[in-house]
Amino acid sequence: MKRTVSVKETSLRDHYRKGDKVELTISDIAEKDQCFGRLENGTGVFVRGMLAVNDSVRAVIRKVRAAYLEALLEEVLFPSPDRVEPECPVFGVCGGCKWMHVRYDAQLRYKKKKVQDALVHLGGVQDVHVKPVHHAPAITHYRNKVEFSCSSKRYLLPDELTQTVLDKSKNFAIGFHAPGNFEKVLDIETCYLAKGCMNRALTATRQFALDHSMSPYAARDHEGYLRNLALRYSEEDDMLMVNLVTSWHDASLMETYREHMLASMGGQPMTIVNNVTTRKNTVAVGEEEYAVHGDGVIQERLGELVFRISANSFFQTNTRQTEALYSGILEMAGLQPDDTVYDLYCGTGTITLYLAGQCRHAVGIEVVESSLDDAADNARSNGIGNVSFYKADLKNFHSLLETLEAYGFPRVIVTDPPRAGMHPKALTTMVRLQPETIVYVSCNPANLARDSKDILAAGYSLTEVQPFDMFPHTSHIETLACFRRKA
């Protein structure tokens, strides 16, 4: 009797070709804006598209890998109960919000699973308990900073591709870069993550730019005047910062822009600055800065602390959730009055200053000098004297240990590394100090999982994992992980 050969026993390339269509039900969220499901024969498929768990879909195969397929969504056949109608009219074209089509409670469920799966499958952490995600108090209009890009090439919406006459010029756009396209920008009328006053400033600036024939920047040719509109907002003072980034400074034009904005913004308190850059990139950071209206700074309160924020300062973009996150750090740290605590990758010192009120001395370590200048200014303005800030590349921070001995070795270390995670040398130095408690602040579950392996191997237990949803409608998740040294 002839035995039936299954797909698993032969190469997938013997059964599937690029362009084939398959039907499946989505069972999980994957990385890189993909979802995952299996065909009836068990073959795994990664599907790119705006999907939700339990969507039944038809997809077109784009790549046949050795162990799985990659496909592009063609049609949702039966929508998931997790689906909702997205509020934004350009959802799916704009790359900012990936999950606006998913109910918020389901977003939180997906994000918790993302953290749990990373720790278990990538970190090898056993018996890990991830707490429910700390939800955001607002899921739209929550960002205190938004950067819009300008371009001489407007990204055309799908229905515009067949139009012979366009309602808007295709030679001017101010909005967000189309996903995967460095030179074309999607012209945005309203961003549903930005504050209302930010959207009004966007409308007013677009109208001024068009009325005054301001040439938008061409990323490929490196020509043009208008580069970015970067907006920041202080909830403490209801103050808007408008930062127009240009290729050169035109004092007369900026004065006219100032008058236009004051007349257009309905009495909104604001400061206006002009950052000027000649760099051949699309980053909204200037080499020179001119105050056009006001003193060019805003301030924001986190708990009892007030922080001064300039146009190019780093500050968390969700103010209310940041307060919850920092309270979580304090709770996990369990500081005592006589403690010394280190804050690694301290940035502008916001976490360091939060910690300082609960301990004898807090030490912040950071490589970016301008951030350390802001940290020192924030300490002075808040009257906090039991903090010290040091410049060091964290991979070499062992070179500071002799200097830091004067404060005593830390009982607690807080580390808030960039998305790439801790440098291996920094992690080695951290665990060699053998603090009783390590609080790891992570914006990338995969790298938290990777670093957890080394921390656990150094004699620690992972005692608490608390995710925070800093960015509703996106796939990003911030996580606090608490490690305690074993007795």
Going from N- to C-terminal start, the domains of the chain cover 7-78, 113-138+318-485, 145-302
In terms of C-beta density within 10 A (0-12 exposed, 13-18 middle, 19 or more buried), how is residue 173 classed?
A: buried
In this predicted structure, what is the pLDDT of residue 7?
A: 58
- The answer to whether 326 touches 302, Cβ cutoff 8 Å, is yes
- The answer to whether 441 touches 416, Cβ cutoff 8 Å, is yes
Which tens digits make up the pLDDT trace of 289-318?
999 999 999 999 999 999 989 898 888 999
In terms of C-beta density within 10 A (0-12 exposed, 13-18 middle, 19 or more buried), how is residue 483 classed?
A: buried
Token digits of residue 126: 């056993």
CATH architecture assigned to 145-302 = Beta Barrel (2.40)
Q: Taking residues 37-51, what's their average pLDDT?
A: 95
Q: Closest Cα partner for 398 from 362, 421, 427, 373? A: 427
What does the alpha-carbon distance between residue 434 and residue 465 come to, in Å, rounded to a whole number?
A: 20
What does the alpha-carbon distance between residue 260 and residue 207 come to, in Å, rounded to a whole number?
A: 10
Other Cβ atoms less than 10 A from the Cβ of 420: the count is 9
Angle between helix axes 196-211 and 251-264 (nearest 10 degrees) is 130
What does the alpha-carbon distance between residue 291 and residue 275 come to, in Å, rounded to a whole number?
A: 9
145's CB contacts (< 8 A; 6+ apart) are: 230, 231, 232, 233, 315, 317
Q: Closest Cα partner for 208 from 270, 251, 275, 260? A: 260
Amino acid identity, residue 252? S
- The answer to whether 87 touches 464, Cβ cutoff 8 Å, is no
In this predicted structure, what is the pLDDT of residue 6?
A: 52
Identify the CATH number of the domain defined by range 7-78.
Answer: 2.40.50.140
In this predicted structure, what is the pLDDT of residue 25?
A: 97
In this predicted structure, what is the pLDDT of residue 1?
A: 41
In this predicted structure, what is the pLDDT of residue 8?
A: 55
In this predicted structure, what is the pLDDT of residue 3?
A: 39
Check whether 165 has a pLDDT greater than 90: no
- 135 or 9, which is more confident? 135
Give CA separation, 305 vs 40, 322, 366, 382, in Å. 57, 13, 20, 6
Check whether 362 has a pLDDT greater than 50: yes
Active site residues: 443
Check whether 86 has a pLDDT greater than 90: yes
324's CB contacts (< 8 A; 6+ apart) are: 134, 468
321's CB contacts (< 8 A; 6+ apart) are: 134, 136, 137, 142, 468, 469, 470
Q: Closest Cα partner for 171 from 150, 199, 148, 157? A: 150
Confidence bin at 2 (pLDDT 50/70/90): very low
Q: 7-78 and 145-302: same fold? A: yes
* Summary mean pLDDT of the chain: 93
Strand partners, 243: 230, 273
Domain 113-138+318-485, CATH class in plain words: alpha beta
Amino acid identity, residue 17? R
